[in-house]
Every structure is written in structure tokens, then in C-alpha cells.
Homo-oligomer: A and B are copies of this chain.
């Protein structure tokens, strides 16, 4: 059974525990769960006989339902609920029929099922984000002192540590997880009847809605939100923000895994990422697959936001457009989270190569520092002139900047005059001495993580 994905590509786009909560079977289960829960709370409220609720509980089980009939029925009615009811009714004693779907409209069932489905799927997403965050936290700690090139606009900038980079990933994973968990805890039940009045229940509708929410473990809405889609948009946005965090991380891995950089590589445990024709290939498939997932998210989010302009008491088309779109969004997010959890768990960090790449940058990543020190010494404009000339020579002759400066007799004298000897000069070129608040930022991300960890 599909989760809106092709079986053929399922290894990439329908991956991890989340899939079993989003496929046809899961949808069916959720729809049935809502009908059964409704019958139960109606019985509890004394509105329908307990025996009817029991009959419905027995009849409304997946084994009794033909998916093919639902497929056909969804075409006839525009949604699968009427066909579902028909199949359940066929298994019910006549006396219980009136207790089924009482007060409800198809949208109540589908929206509530979608919230239930989302709640179940997000449990797995949160677990994978948690696992990824755990790995990121370990990387941030272990590589607190692993100096590497900071790169801006895809160009060498100033020194950072890999620990700081991992701390950034960590914070964004934890932040995404916290937001998703908060949204998950507030997913509301839908129960409003044909047009949001719950008229068939006379004045007891709101009460039953409250019971239903509790029964399903969902929250209660202020009023039926058939065409007021903020709950769904908030969920979609939280998914999108989590996907963005995963996508940024995956992009970093693919860039740092470029052969010319070779600072990171994915685990090669299972020969993953090979090519059928190029035996040397070791592609960072986990990150690439995660990007394949996350790149599909913004378009789905646009669909959901555009669909939120819904007419009157039920939308003609816009509502329908949400079902598979949200299910896919969750599937893609879950797959990406599963990929990244695995990528981080097996990530191979080559801190020697990071140092080597830094060294190959000819001290240029320290030009910012040098500029500031020289400006204090000789004035801003002369410092800029001097430095520009030195940088050009360093690049032209492939020399470290420190060597170029050492060859400038005037400058050396000026430095000595200013009391800057060899030791102080060497320190200017020491990246470990130019890391600013990196370590503090790592600590803050770790503290944020510790405060938000499930246990």
C-alpha cells in the first residue's frame, strides 16, 4: 500500500518508520478509528446505546473494508467516507446503523483522521530528529576544537570549528523538533457536522466534540474549522521548517564531501552510493536522497497555503487538494529525517583534512584579523594597501601570507618597533586563537539540546 509514493522509488522517498503511518492502510485505520471513537463517546454521553457503539467497534475494522470499493466510491462522492460508511453499515445490525457517523459530515472524519495520522507519523519524525540531534550533539562536542575553513558565498572566509558547524545543525534540529512537538500536541479534532452547527445533536454538539477530542488524543478546537485551515497550515509550516533544517544540513554534507574538500564522508558500511559504471564512486547518497526529499517540500507548502482560501462552510476542490499533499509532505519529511539520522550516525569527519585545507588557504582566512591589527599599528589606509599587495603576492606565488610578510623588511621593522616579535606574529596566524565565541556558542547549543531532550 502506497504512501503517495511509487514503490519503485520508495527507498529514496518513502523511508523509515513514518511510512507505515501514512499509507493506505494507515489512512483506513485512522478513518475507522474516528468513526469508532465517535460512536463510543456518543454512547458515553448517552446519545446512542452502548450496544450500538459496540457493534460499530466490531464492524468498523480494516478487515471488513475493501480498498478498491473505497477507491471507486471516492470518485462517486468526491471522498471515500460515504463508501466507507456503506461498507460498515453492511456489517451492522439495523439497530446500530443510526449510531454510526452521528452528527458528522465526511469532512469531520477525514480531517480528524488526517490529524490522527499526522500525530502518529510525527512520533516517528520526532524520534528521527531526536536521534539526529543526538549525533549532532556528539559531533559538536567532539569537534569543538577541529579547526576548519568557514566558507561564505562558497568562498574561503575565516576559521571556524567543525564543532561550531555541528552546533548550528544541532540547534536547528532541536528547534525544529520542539516546534513540531508543540504543534503535534495541539492537533485539533474536527467535528462540526454538515455546516459546523452540529445541529443533529441539538445542544450537545460542543460537549460531544470535547469528548471526541479526548478519546482520540487530539485537542479541542474553539469551533469547527472546516474552512478555517490555520491548524493544518501551522502543521505544514512546522514540517517545512524541519525539512529546511534537514536540507541545509544535507547540502553542507554534500559540499564538504566534494572530493576536492573531502572533509566529510558518509559511512560506506553497505557499499551504498556506488555507481554501476564508475567503480571509484562513493556518492554521499544519504544526503543526496534527503535533498531529493526536501526539495519537494516548498511546492507542497505553497499548495497548502494556496488551498486555504476555502469557500463558505466547505470548499469545492481546495479541501480535497490537501489530503494527499499533506500526507506526502509528512512522508517526505519523515524520509529525510530518517536519512539524516543515519547520515549523522555514520558521518566520518576528517579533521586532519580540515586542517590541511585550512593550511592550503595561504593564511588568507586570517586576513581579517591581520587587517585589524595592522590598522591599529600603521593606520587603516596604509594597512589596507600593504595587505592587498601582500595578498596578491601570496596568491600569485602560492606563499603563505606569513611568509610574504616576513619577506617585507620595512614591515618587519615596523612590527618590531611596535613590539610585535616573532611569537606575537605567529599568534596572529594561529586559527585556534581566532575562534571568538565559537566554544560559547557550542555550549549554548548543547544546553538548548539538553533542555529539550525527551529524557
Contacts and interface: CB of A to CB of B under 8 A. Distances in A.
Contact of A434 (B199, B244, B441): B199
A7 B71 contact: yes
B197 A435 contact: yes
Interface in A105-162: 105-106, 150-160
B368 A200 contact: yes
Contact of A255 (B273, B299, B311, B434): B311
Contacts of A44: none
Interface stretch (A46-54, A221-229, A413-421): A221-229
B223 A248 contact: no
A175 B241 contact: no
Contacts of A367: 278-280
A375 interface: yes
A239 B133 CA distance: 28
B230 A245 contact: yes
Given A97-B380, A230-B176, A274-B82, A309 B247 contact: yes
B279 A292 contact: no
Interface residues of A, number: 185
A221 to B, nearest CB: 8
Interface string A351-394: 00000010011001101110110011000100010011001000
Nearest to A272: B76
Given A5-B4, A299-B302, A436-B193, A254 B82 contact: no
B197 A311 contact: no
A257 interface: yes
A273 to B, nearest CB: 7
Contacts of A74: 8-12
Contact of A101 (B70, B276, B299, B309): B276
A261 B16 CA distance: 36
A96 to B, nearest CB: 11
A308 interface: yes
Contact of A203 (B198, B323, B440): B440
A93 interface: no
Nearest to A295: B321
Contact of A317 (B6, B250, B278, B434): B250
Interface string A433-452: 01111101100110010000
B75 A11 contact: yes
A205 B8 contact: no
A408 interface: no
A390 to B, nearest CB: 9
A436 B303 contact: no
7 contacts: A7-B24, A76-B273, A171-B228, A198-B436, A203-B440, A292-B318, A299-B302
